[in-house]
Amino acid sequence: MTDHSIEEAKRQAAIRAVEDHFSPEATYVGIGSGTTIIYVVEAIKERSTNPHIRFVPTGYQSRQVIVRAGLTPIAFDSLPEDTMLDVAFDGADEVDEELNCIKGGGACLFQEKLVAERARKFICVADYRKDQPRLLTNWPTIPIEVAPISIYTVLHSLRLLGSPNPQVRDGLLVKAGPLKTDQDFFIIDAPFPSLLTSSDVASGLGAGDGTDGKWQVETLSKEIKLITGVLEVGLFCGMDGVQAEKARNGGLGTGSGLGGQKPVAVYFGMQDGTVKVRTSTAK
Ligand SMILES: O=C(CO)[C@H](O)[C@H](O)COP(=O)(O)O
């Protein structure tokens, strides 16, 4: 597969996702980070001339994409407290069959999670390489955002949870030393064996609690989040926006603010130019 056709797959998926989920009457729209989101913003720009829509970025790059497209950004912390976004679009590094996602390949996972949880509908757009039965099949590690001072204790705790060789992400050619996030934190990339879905656990493939070295997505996410020094984990799991709304209407908290972390739909651009749509079964 050439780079060109991967880019075309992302573009086709973005166009379909925007056709299906972007309304020119929207008030607030979340915009994720990465390379695929650029095609989403292009597609939005082609459909909307409404100057009143406010676009909520998930970091520096995302804000630049919004501004360069001539759209109007609004900072997440300027949103009225109980206001939800009509929709949020973002990319993903890997998506499993229950629509749990790994995110944070671009180091923006903290703001991406804030924005996803604030949206009535969180929509992911990706190319076919991201579509896998389980997380950590093709994508090797879980990105975790960590306070710099805590880096060695977090690395140690991750090893105790069974991550064989967690690494602090390097700034590579961009800067000497660790990469810094938009919060001035570090990223640890932690490998684990591929993660069980909840149906794997229900069908007896494992307890999912790490005792046999196998973790279920949500259980591992909670364990990592409990480590002091961890700001956020790049596992987007638990409820989706539709389930979160039901919980809110039933008077239950969602555990994470207003919404859910999981997408209600994922659009995969395929090798043959088609778009595969996977939606949440929990409607
Ligand atoms: O989570 C992210 C950034 O933190 C991105 O959404 C994810 O890495 C996908 O990026 P791309 O669209 O470039 O494949």
CATH number at residue 37: 3.40.50.1360
CA Rg value for the chain: 18
Residues 107 and 163 occupy one common structural domain = no
Looking at the fold, whether 125 and 67 belong to one and the same domain comes out as yes
Query: Is residue 283's pLDDT more than 50?
Result: no
- ipTM more than 0.95? yes
Task: Dump pLDDT digits (tens) for 131-157.
Answer: 999 999 999 999 999 999 999 999 999
Q: Which of 8, 19, 81, 112 is catalytic?
A: 112
Please give the pLDDT value at position 250. 78
Averaged pLDDT, 65-74: 97
Q: Once rounded to an integer, what is the mean pLDDT over residues 197-214? A: 95
CB atoms within 10 A of CB 63: 18
* pLDDT at residue number 247: 84
Q: Please tell me whether residue 194 adopts helix, strand or coil conformation.
A: coil
Ligand 1 centroid to residue 242 C-alpha, Å: 23
User: What's the CATH number where 173 sits?
Assistant: 3.30.70.260
Whether 112 and 204 map to the same domain: the answer is no
Is residue 137 one of the residues assigned to a domain? no
Whether 112 sits among the annotated catalytic residues: the reply is yes
- For residue 20, what pLDDT band results from cuts at 50, 70 and 90? very high
Name the residue range of residue 159's domain.
142-234
Are 187 and 152 part of one and the same domain? yes
Confidence of residue 254 (pLDDT cuts 50, 70, 90): low
> Is residue 146 domain-shared with residue 109, that is, in the same domain?
no
Contact (Cβ atoms closer than 8 angstroms) between residue 57 and residue 39: no
Do 60 and 174 lie in one domain? The reply is no
Q: How confident is the model at residue 172 (pLDDT cuts 50, 70, 90)?
A: confident
Domain count, the chain: 2
d(CA 62, CA 53): 16
The residues with which 101 forms a beta bridge, in sequence order, are: 95, 236
Ligand 1 contacts CB of residue 90 (under 6 A)? yes
Domain check: are 170 and 203 in the same one? yes
Structure pTM?
0.95
